[in-house]
């Protein structure tokens, strides 16, 4: 078979990613140095750790536990605040201007979302991810906004009104009908959707200590255990909306990423995989994708988006 030229680039909302694999929010996304390392290691782009205006300590340790099929975390949206993130993005952009940066934001009320949305245009981020779906923060009682009827629409409208940057809305798997929420955010003006955030929360108990391992008892489930759920959700959402998708959940190989793309994702997020395989996972996934494309005579990622529906 003759070697053909493969185009791994993805144009997402007018922003060019050199390849479809992006760092998901919450993992190595707090400093310019760690994000630059992720880019140097092969990621097409990065998403920052979710930030609010004032910053947050989050929950005490232990915050992460792995089990046979995945991991649980209860970080509780630890972050150093908007100003800090803005400066880290500025520094990263000076060093790596060609790689897209997605700033992830959150708020515990509509007012907080409005406050941070008003400042987004001061940042050098290319895109905004609106996190309405963290499942392990007690302030978000009774549930994250993504799980409360009508709230996703209100958040999207508010953020859109206050920034010129395109917004990606991050959805929760912890709902009975993710398609309804996807349609709601599209209708409210979201430019794209990312899915999924962590599942649950779930719990692991230390049977010797006779108590939950995580400090606050439970945490969001991520990693390979949630991949089939994420793929199914991307598949269903792809059929229901016209806006582009970022597929996230349990991706650790090129095969997994291709599955997500065939389900309908244009970009694929990798989070927990970094814990399992280290930072080289980005180059490894891209290499496996390119190898598959070469073998199957596929020239561009665009040809594969939604292929499982045809």
Q: What is the DSSP letter of 204?
A: -
Residue 86 CB, nearest distance to ligand FMN (Å)? Answer: 16
Tell me which residue of 204, 220, 202 sits closest to 271, measured CA to CA: 220
Q: Which residue is nearest to ligand FMN (CB)?
A: 26
Is there binding between residue 281 and ligand FMN (CB under 6 A)?
Answer: no
DSSP character at residue 208: T
Least distance CB 177 / ligand FMN (angstroms): 19
**Residue 123 binds to ligand FMN (criterion: CB under 6 A):** no
Nearer to ligand FMN, 269 or 306 (CB): 269
CB atoms within 10 A of CB 3: 6
Please report how close the Cβ of residue 219 comes to ligand FMN at its closest, in angstroms.
9
Stretch that binds ligand FMN, among 114-122, 258-266, 267-275, 291-299 (CB under 6 A): 267-275
Output DSSP code: residue 94.
H
The sheet that has 219-222: what strands, in order across it? 64-67, 70-73, 219-222, 199-202
**170 near ligand FMN, judged by CB under 6 A:** yes
- Of 37, 56, 22, 222, the C-alpha closest to 129 is 22
Q: To 10 degrees, what angle do helices 178-188 and 151-162 make?
A: 30
- 171: contact with ligand FMN by CB under 6 A: no
* Residues 24-43 as x/- pattern, contact with ligand FMN by CB under 6 A: xxxx----------------
Number of shown-chain residues binding ligand FMN (CB under 6 A): 27
Residue 272 in the binding site for ligand FMN (CB under 6 A): yes
* 250 is a site residue for ligand FMN (CB under 6 A): yes
Q: Work out how close the CB of 84 gets to ligand FMN at its nearest, in angstroms, rounded to a whole number.
A: 14
Tokens of 226: 């949630």
List binders of ligand FMN among 41-100 (CB under 6 A). 49-50, 64, 73, 75, 77
Q: How far apart are CA 274 and CA 282, in angstroms?
A: 8
Q: How far apart are CA 310 and CA 304, in angstroms?
A: 10
Report the phi/psi class of residue 197: left, alpha or beta, with left for phi > 0 and alpha for psi in -120 to 50.
beta
Give how far the C-alpha of residue 198 lies from the chain's centroid of Cα atoms, to the nearest Å: 10
- Asked if 270 contacts 42 with a C-beta cutoff of 8 angstroms, the reply is no
Residue nearer to ligand FMN on the CB measure, 261 or 270? 270
The yes-or-no answer on residue 134 being catalytic is yes
Q: Which of 19, 99, 123, 131 binds ligand FMN (CB under 6 A)?
A: 131
Alpha-carbon distance of 189 to 178, in angstroms, equals: 17
**Smallest distance from ligand FMN to CB 11, Å:** 23
273 touches ligand FMN (CB under 6 A) = yes
> Using the rule CB under 6 A, is 249 a contact of ligand FMN?
yes
Cβ-based neighbours of 278, under 8 Å, separated by 6 or more: none
- Residues serving a catalytic function are 134
Which residues are at the interface with ligand FMN (CB under 6 A)? 24-27, 49-50, 64, 73, 75, 77, 104, 131, 134, 170, 197-198, 222-223, 226, 248-251, 270-273
């Amino acid at each position: 078979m003759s070697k053909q030229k493969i185009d791994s680039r993805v144009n997402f909302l007018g922003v060019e990613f050199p390849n479809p694999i992006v760092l998901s929010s919450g993992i190595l996304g707090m400093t310019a140095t760690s994000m630059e390392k992720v880019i140097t290691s092969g990621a097409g782009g990065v998403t920052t750790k979710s930030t609010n205006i004032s910053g947050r300590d989050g929950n005490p340790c232990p915050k992460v536990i792995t089990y046979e099929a995945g991991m649980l975390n209860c970080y509780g949206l630890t972050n150093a605040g908007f100003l800090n993130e803005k400066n880290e993005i500025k520094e990263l952009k000076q060093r790596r201007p060609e790689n897209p940066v997605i700033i992830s934001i959150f708020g515990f009320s509509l007012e907080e979302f409005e406050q941070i949305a008003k400042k987004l245009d001061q940042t050098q981020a290319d895109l905004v991810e609106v996190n309405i779906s963290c499942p392990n923060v007690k302030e978000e009682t009774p549930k994250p906004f993504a799980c409360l009827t009508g709230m996703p629409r209100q958040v999207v409208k508010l953020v859109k009104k206050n920034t010129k940057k395109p917004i990606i809305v991050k959805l929760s798997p912890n709902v009975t009908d993710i398609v309804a929420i996807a349609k709601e955010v599209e209708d409210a003006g979201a430019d794209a959707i990312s899915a999924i955030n962590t599942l649950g929360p779930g719990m692991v108990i230390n049977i010797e200590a006779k108590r939950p391992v995580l400090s606050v008892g439970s945490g969001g489930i991520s990693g390979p255990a949630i991949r089939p759920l994420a793929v199914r959700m991307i598949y269903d959402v792809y059929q229901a909306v016209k806006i582009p998708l970022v597929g996230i959940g349990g991706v650790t190989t090129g095969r997994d990423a291709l599955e997500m793309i065939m389900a309908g994702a244009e970009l694929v997020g990798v989070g927990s995989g970094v814990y399992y395989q280290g930072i080289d996972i980005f180059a490894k996934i891209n290499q496996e994708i390119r190898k598959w494309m070469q073998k199957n005579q596929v020239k561009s990622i665009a040809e594969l988006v939604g292929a499982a529906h045809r």
